[in-house]
Structure 1
Amino acid sequence: MKFLHIADVHIGATPDKDKMWGGRRGDEIYDSFKKIIKICEEQQVDLLLIAGDLFNAPPTIQQLRELDYQLRLMNGTKTILIAGNHDYIEEGSPWEKYHFESDLVIMPRDRAANVYIEDLNVCVTGYSYGRPEYTERILERLRPGKEGAYNILLGHGGDKTHMPFSKEKLASLGFDYVALGHIHKPAHLVKNKMAFSGSLEPLDHTETGRRGYILGELSGAGNTLIQWVPCNRRSYINMTLELTPDIVNAEIIDNIKDEIERIGADNIFKINLNGCIDSNLQINLSGLYREYNIFEVNDNTHYNYDIGELLTVNENNLLGRFIKTLSDEESLESPEIRERAMKYGIEALLGIGEN
């Protein structure tokens, strides 16, 4: 029995909406789900498991109609879904009112449920959210629903306010596979037995790395084999450049461009500039923002001033007193903060003629 496990798609989310590429990101999230539908067809998947937060918020009737249409495009793939903390099922909500024509089962809110699919001999046990938070250890209380069948646990949680659990406890419950959602980073918790699929697309700049889905197969006496498959359209990439005093602005730009093109220009970049630069260099990367997806640039460089010489020459003025104060090891707890403060302070004081 072949299954595909996804979670945390967050249809309706608009990451980076204040950026030039923000308008495309919402469409790409929905496109990622449509890609899953095609993969289910191509791979002849028997069961699609959605482990919560398919939507970014409780869905509207129109969103459920769109979902129903997409699921009807699959031939022979059944779908089982639980609601998560973002798209939870409220009493009388569209989740409960809409009548699906596709082969979809939605687990009811606020109670454990079992769905047995006879032709696949698989029983899925799950629990849909009826509100945004649960501090109770609900998933640890669930048990396999049918003896002699493949038993799968479909859960959403893992932190202290969203159905916390111990992976050791879940692993001991006797399920053939535990399909988890809520944590956006993919994680294989117990080999071939328990995993977070992660989101299909990264949803903010802190979610670096690839994103994707899990393709699995159950066979024989509960033997499970899973494979995580990356599929995201873009990744958030942290790029770090070490600069030297002899570098010029055009060279910095060329180095960044070369690295972006090497990694892939569709990605979204956070650029960190480190190292020592000439005190006369003015870094200007404004053109890169128009050409590439630059989320932010962090300038952590420092100038190649001779601090000792500056202190000697300016011992009796404001600049000298500033350098002496910042040089005191007790003046600031963090050396990084001290170094940055020294850079900005010297630059500002030299700029206004405090010498």
Structure 2
Amino acid sequence: MIRILHLADLHLGWRPAFMPRDRAEERRRRRDDLLERAVDLALDRQHGIDLVVIAGDLFETHRPEEPLVASVMAQLRRLEQAGFPVVTVPGNHDEITYPNSVYQNHREDWPGLLVTNPNPAHVATLTVQGTALHLYSLAYTGGVTQTQPPVNRFPKVDEPGAHLAVFHGTLGDWGGDRSLPLDPAALAQAGYDYVALGHIHKPGEVRMGRGLAVYPGAVEGKGFDDPGTGQFTIACVEAGGVRLERVPAGAQPVVVRDLDVSGMADAAQVTAAVAELADPAVIARVRLTGSAPELLNAEAIQAHCAHRFFYLEVVDETDSLSPQRLDRWAGERTILGEFIRRMRRRLAEEQDPGERAVLEQALRRGVQAMLGGER
């Protein structure tokens, strides 16, 4: 059995633009120690790791800050010095295409095996647990790597041992060139034992003949729509197939919580209920739902409770602006009434779901502003 620590989409160096600067920098710092946590896990003999694979987007950008690069290379050298093979594949964020890419600058001194070939190839054969492990991969290179049609030629040496492919791409013809479309049928036909994938941030598994293709997902997410798995993925490749293990990664929680305000007496009680959800380590979005006791000021509630969370966002999705209430205001010969009538006409004419969502939010915010619900 060969045990592979499968990493992908760490996006080291990323900063959350939606947070205040001090919180954003703290969040970046916490995320950037993710690789150190992974290396600590690999070096802990109780997990029995034999090989570490990074399937793309180790960095958020192809030109990360030099102190971060130095830190990352130091962590990878810890693996190398302990005798652990480590394979790094460039992604689309940290793309190798550019002459000033981190992987171009450190092509010669990058710890372990750095994949640089632009098309699928047999890149190495390692001996792991007394077994020959044949590696196949590519580094997407703009203007060189085949993307249309999707990559459909996958080599495989006719030699005994385990066969591991590593790609940062998408299964199927979607996502554009830099998402590296891979032909699923051709990939299955290649007959690899394990296909370590990156690019898709949600975890997923696809049976590939007798093998398995796996997206481990992003361990530390980027926001409420991309919260991260909070777990490291270990693939156990053996004669009978592949078994996956998930190990907690000590990730910072990113959560969305719904709070039904129906039956609450007033805005003060709603604010107190939000405060009860507090956790100083959590990045939280609290969605207020149900029948609101009055027109709520989400920004005021957020400001009052923010210090209780690492970061807090409060979203008002209550029916405080019910159709009946809007109907009553729309019937008035006032600026508020005229605003509601015009926004409703625009909503009736708009067909695009995304634009409708923007207009609905604009209607809500406009009414709240005119009623004095916001600054």
Q: TM-score range by the shorter chain?
A: 0.7 to 0.9
Q: Which of 67, 73, 93 is the equivalent residue of 1:68? A: 73
Which residue in 1 is equivalent to 2:159?
147
The answer to which of 336-345 and 191-200 deviates more is 336-345
How far does the alpha carbon of each residue in 1:237-260 deviate from its partner, in whole angstroms, 9 at most, with x for none?
222222236422332223223334
- Counterpart of 1:257 (choices 263, 275, 283) is 275
In 2, Cα distance between equivalents of 1:319 and 1:268: 38
* Deviation readout 1:279-317 (Å, 9 max, x if unpaired): 476663112122213443222334488959x95x99774
Alignment map for 1:115-154 (pairs within 5 Å): 115-118=124-127, 119-131=130-142, 135-137=147-149, 139-154=151-166
**Contact between 1:278 and 1:304, CA under 8 Å: does it hold in 2?**
no
Match of residue 208 from structure 1: 227
Q: Which residue of 2 aligns with 1:188?
A: 205
Q: Distance in 2 between matches of 1:54 and 1:36?
A: 12
Q: Which residue of structure 1 lines up, in the alignment, with residue 348 of structure 2? A: 332
Task: Work out which of the residue numbers 233, 239, 243 in structure 1 matches 2:257.
Answer: 239
Correspondence for 1:292 among 309, 319, 339: 309
Aligned equivalent of 1:160: 176
How far does residue 333 in structure 1 lie from its aligned partner after superposition?
A: 6.9
Q: Aligned AA for 1:116?
A: T
| Deviating more after overlay: 79-88 vs 174-183 | 79-88
How many matched pairs? Answer: 345
Q: TM-score normalised to the size of structure 2?
A: 0.76
1:21 — aligned with what?
23
Match of 1:34 in 2: 36
Whole-Å separation in 2 of the counterparts to 1:316 and 1:46: 72
* Aligned residue identity for 2:133: V
Question: Using the alignment, how far apart are the partners of 1:62 and 1:246 within structure 2?
Answer: 51
CA offsets 1:17-69 (integer angstroms, 9 cap, x no match):
74242112222222111011011111231110110111122256655443332
Compare 153-162 and 315-324 and name the one that shifted more. Answer: 315-324
Match of 1:83 in 2: 90
Return the letter of the residue paired with 2:11.
H
Paired letter, 1:70: Q
The whole-number CA distance in structure 2 between the counterparts of 1:101 and 1:340 is 48
The alignment status of 1:56 with 2:56, answered yes or no, reads no
Q: Does 1:110 align with 2:126?
A: no
User: Structure 1 stretches of 5 or more lacking a match?
Assistant: none
- Are the equivalent residues in 1 in contact too, given 2:237–2:243 (CA < 8 A)? yes
Aligned identity (percent) is 21
Of residues 183-192 and 77-86 in structure 1, the stretch that sits farther from structure 2 once superposed is: 183-192
SS at match of 1:301: coil
Deviation at 1:144, TM superposition (A): 2.2
Q: What TM-score does the superposition give when structure 1 sets the normalisation length? A: 0.80
Cα distance 1:344–1:116, how it changes in 2: closer, same or farther (>3 A)?
closer
Q: 1:278 aligns with which of 266, 282, 293?
A: 293
Distance 1:345 1:35 in 2: 46
Matches within 5 A, 1:217-228: 217-220=236-239, 223-228=241-246
Q: Which moved more, 1:74-83 or 1:333-342?
A: 333-342
1:270 is paired with a residue whose SS is strand
What is the CA deviation profile of residues 267-290 of structure 1, one whole-angstrom value per residue up to 9, with x for unaligned ones? 211222123233476663112122
Query: Which structure has the bigger radius of gyration?
Result: 1
Output the CA distance in 2 between the equivalents of 1:302 and 1:37: 49
The 2-side partners of 1:330 and 1:138 are apart by: 41
| Structure 2 residue 10 is the aligned partner of structure 1 residue 2 | no
3-state SS in 1 of match to 2:166: strand
**What CA distance in whole angstroms lies between the structure 1 residues aligned with 2:364 and 2:110?**
65
Task: Name the SS for the 1:172 alignment partner.
Answer: helix
Residues 1:249 and 1:100: Cα distance change in structure 2 (over 3 Å): same
Structure 2's unaligned 5+ residue stretches are: 351-355
Structure 2 CA distance for aligned equivalents of residues 278 and 18 of structure 1: 30
Partner of 1:100: 109
Give the letter aligned to residue 270 of structure 1: R
RMSD: 3.9
Instruction: Quote the Cα distance in structure 1 between the aligned partners of 2:369 and 2:235.
Output: 59
Aligned partner of 1:86: which letter?
H
Distance 1:27 1:280, change over 3 A: closer
The structure-2 alpha-carbon separation of the partners of 1:137 and 1:331, relative to structure 1 and needing over 3 Å to count, comes to closer
